[in-house]
Every structure is written in structure tokens, then in C-alpha cells.
């Protein structure tokens, strides 16, 4: 499981996160507080709010290089839209902590 901070003024509600997931990954199921989906190289995507942070857990599967790149790009776009931080900013925050 990985926790992501929200950029100031960028915090989303569970409903907003679910709408972004539907737009980017397609079908979204709910299991309690968790929103579950899948997308190409990500066999299972679980996302939920944990306090003031976004929690995410993913399970990947083997795909070809083109699908892997598309999966990573889409996942990073999703995290940017939800948290407000780019992949570069998230990496910097992770190494700083």
C-alpha cells in the first residue's frame, strides 16, 4: 500500500475520485470504502481515502512494453488529477520522507 499527499487546495472527495477512476479506467466497483478497478497492466487497482491521504494498492500483470508504458502513463495521469502532484513531485516527496 502506498499513501499519497494531496497538494494544498486539491483534496478530492471519494465521489470525485470515483468519477475520475471511471473516466480513466472504466468500470469501478465499491467494496466498503475502497474503489476497485483494473486497467491494462494493472490487474487490480484499489483506492481509498485514509485520513487526509489517498491510499492506493495495485497488482500488476505481465504485458508487452507498449501496454506497460500506456498503463504507467495513465496511472501517473490519474494520480496527478487526484493529488495535484506530478510523478516527479511525488518521487521527490517520497525520497524526502
Kindly list the domain boundaries of the chain, sorted by start residue. 2-96
Return per-residue pLDDT of the chain as tens, 97 residues: 999 999 999 899 999 999 999 999 999 999 999 999 999 999 999 999 999 999 999 999 999 999 999 999 999 999 999 999 999 999 998 887 6
For domain 2-96, the question of CATH label 3.10.310.30 is answered with no
Q: Are 62 and 68 in contact (CB under 8 A)?
A: no
Cell match 502532484: residue? 85
For residues 78 and 21, give the distance between their C-alpha atoms in angstroms, rounded to a whole number. 7
C-alpha cell at 79: 494520480
For residues 85 and 63, give the distance between their C-alpha atoms in angstroms, rounded to a whole number. 27
Amino acid at each position: 500500500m502506498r499513501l499519497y499527499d494531496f497538494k494544498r487546495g486539491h483534496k478530492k472527495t471519494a465521489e470525485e475520485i470515483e468519477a475520475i477512476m471511471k473516466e480513466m479506467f472504466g468500470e469501478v466497483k465499491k467494496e466498503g470504502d475502497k474503489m476497485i478497478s483494473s486497467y491494462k497492466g494493472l490487474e487490480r487497482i484499489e483506492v481509498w481515502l485514509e485520513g487526509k491521504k489517498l491510499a492506493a494498492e495495485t497488482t500488476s500483470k505481465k504485458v508487452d512494453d507498449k501496454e506497460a508504458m500506456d498503463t504507467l502513463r495513465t496511472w501517473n495521469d490519474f494520480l496527478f488529477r487526484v493529488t495535484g502532484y506530478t510523478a516527479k513531485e511525488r518521487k521527490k516527496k517520497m525520497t524526502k520522507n
